[in-house]
Structure 1
Amino acid sequence: MKRFLLAATATIVMFAFGAAAQASSNAKVPHLAGSSASLNNAKFQPGNYSLKVHVMGQEVSALMVESQDAVRLSQNITVFDQSNKPVAATVSMNGQTATIAFAQPVKPDTILRVDLRNVQNPRAMPTVLFSVSSQIVGLNSEIALGTIQARTYYGRF
């Protein structure tokens, strides 16, 4: 009987905390929505990556994209909205981090596509990780949106 009560209690606690940890569909915070990669056959050629960020809740004034150690970003970064219209932004580099400052704050309910071009992946890693954070209008700190991975499929051609 003790085992049954212990198992039942553990199950209830697990479901209670699991439901609270799930993201709700009406969350009003910016979040990552996906990624993709388009690469050449040759491992030494630079690749292009695309990240999607869904802006929700508050306006975003900047995005910061940081690559993992071996991967090198270039300043060749463009941003588009869900209508495939370019979003005016300036890009600055600080080591492995690209800061994309928007000319006008991006309004909520906008899906941004961030195209990273000429990204060097000298070790031909099969999965590339990018950490993304945002600058919310009115806040002085960066808000981490998370880490997103893009599969490169090197060696599978």
Structure 2
Amino acid sequence: MNIRPIVSSLSALAVSIALLPFGDFPAEAQMTMHFTTPFVTDSGFVGAAGNMHYITLGVTGFSLKSATIGLPIDMERSIEVKAFDPNGMEILGTLKKSPGGITIDFNQPIDPNTYVRLQLSGVDMSRMGGRALYRVSTQLQGIEGEVPIGSAMIRLKDPS
């Protein structure tokens, strides 16, 4: 009887057991995020028609004076934007439309450590399906110029 396969198998088993970690070891790498400017936390569309999109911003670091949403090239420019606080109350502001997008200047700066939901109504795109990519930038109290804070991607309603 050839015992070489048995010895090889037992040796492989012994090495495998010796290399298995025993006990709970902490993770060797951890990720901690500390946001110093507002950031995009969520985006999507409301309702079955898909003509109302939203972008949620986490306000951190500085008070938020305004938000600019860059619109996709093939999107109609008849869009209206409203802002809402976490309780669903409208935040008053003034809209400015430009060829590149829509800016909402808030009547009162929005304090840090809260969320703002920007709701775009009247979205009418020349295509169905795919995705809409919005570039988002802000103006912050105490900071000169616009600060780009990210992008919001919204999956468009599929044609059916």
| Superposition TM-score, scaled by structure 2 size | 0.75
CA distance in 2, matches of 1:49, 1:73: 14
Is the CA contact 1:134–1:143 (under 8 Å) kept in the aligned structure 2? yes
1:29 counterpart residue number: 37
Displacement of 1:72: 2.4
CA distance in 1, matches of 2:150, 2:78: 21
Displacement of 1:140: 1.8
Q: Where do 5+ consecutive residues of structure 1 fail to align?
A: 1-18
**2:125 paired with 1:117:** no
One-letter amino acid of the counterpart of residue 34, structure 2: N
RMSD (Å), alpha carbons:
2.0
Between the two proteins, what is the percent identity of the paired residues? 21
1:71 counterpart residue number: 75
When residues 73 and 33 of structure 1 are mapped into structure 2, their CA distance, relative to the original with a 3 A threshold, is farther
One-letter amino acid of the counterpart of residue 128, structure 1: A
| Superposition TM-score, scaled by structure 1 size | 0.76
Is the CA contact 1:82–1:113 (under 8 Å) kept in the aligned structure 2? yes
2:96 counterpart residue number: 92
When residues 34 and 79 of structure 1 are mapped into structure 2, their CA distance, relative to the original with a 3 A threshold, is same
1:134 counterpart residue number: 138
After the TM superposition, which segments of 4 or more aligned residues of structure 1 sit over 6 Å from their partners? Answer: none
Q: Where do 5+ consecutive residues of structure 2 fail to align?
A: 1-28
Is the CA contact 1:78–1:114 (under 8 Å) kept in the aligned structure 2? yes
Displacement of 1:81: 0.7
Between 137-146 and 70-79, the greater mean CA deviation after superposition: 70-79
Larger radius of gyration: 2
One-letter amino acid of the counterpart of residue 113, structure 1: R
The number of residues matched between the two structures is 132
2:62 counterpart residue number: 58
